[in-house]
Amino acid sequence: MILVEPAEALLAIDIGNTRIGLGIWDGDGLHDARHVAVTRPDEWRPTLKEVWALMASRNRAVVIGSVNPEGTVRMQELAEAVSGTPAVRVRDDLPLPLPLDIENEHEVGVDRVCCAAAAFERVGGACAVASFGSATTVDCVSAEGRFLGGAILPGFQMCCDALHDQTAQLPRVSPQVPSNPFGKNTHDAIVNGVAYGMMGALREIVERFATELREWPQLVITGGNAPLVAELADFVDAIVPDLCLMGIALTHRKAAGQT
């Protein structure tokens, strides 16, 4: 771990499996978030330059959270070249933002812990945080602010793709809100199965969290498919875009003694 100095503004970078998020954290909270595909490295530098330029000449720093080792190396090099300042990484350079109550702290993804930390800061008590990206993760934080672990299952698109790839005749479909509980054709039957199946899994997991906690944790959701979930699940307490970026920035602020 390294010592980090307080910064007036942070460029937070979230490197996932399919996309990269970049956003500015300052006195106004997180804003000016941008997203680029991992498969489009030609877009990384211009996006970095655009966001960095919005931070003006304040005391700035760059902090990276990643679950994609290959993408991290190149993005860190680009970020340092664009910003002219060293980038620090969650876990490698900065301690994780929550104490962990799990078997192996090196296995848990940085994104899961950062999302959980940001959700706990928002809620101020026991909470569940579900992220709907390439994979779906549902994690729990205790009332004391300890990361308790959770569940990982395939994401919406991964479920759709698996049904197409692993069968002879099922079509490839995109995740969407079902139009009717009864799938009247194969396409709609897949849409319904994936959407309602995900909602059932989410409810079951959070209910089991509640049983162990002896209280119902507030449910915060994020990720690319969170808006779809919000339309289907009436038990969601908050939808927070770019929750992971908030958690990455929070990690730096904690390490710098700013919170």
- Catalytic-labelled residue, pool 111, 165, 234, 237: 111
- Catalytic residue status for 42: no
The three-state DSSP-derived secondary structure of the chain is CCCCCCCCEEEEEEECCCEEEEEEEECCEEEEEEEEECCCHHHHHHHHHHHHHCCCCCCEEEEEEECCHHHHHHHHHHHHHHHCCCEEEECCCECCCCCECCCCCCCCCHHHHHHHHHHHHHHCCCEEEEEECCEEEEEEECCCCCEEEEEEEECHHHHHHHHHHCCCCCCCCCCCCCCCCCCCCHHHHHHHHHHHHHHHHHHHHHHHHHHHHCCCCEEEEECCCHHHHHHHCCCCCEECCCHHHHHHHHHHHHHCCCC
Q: Which residues are catalytic?
A: 111
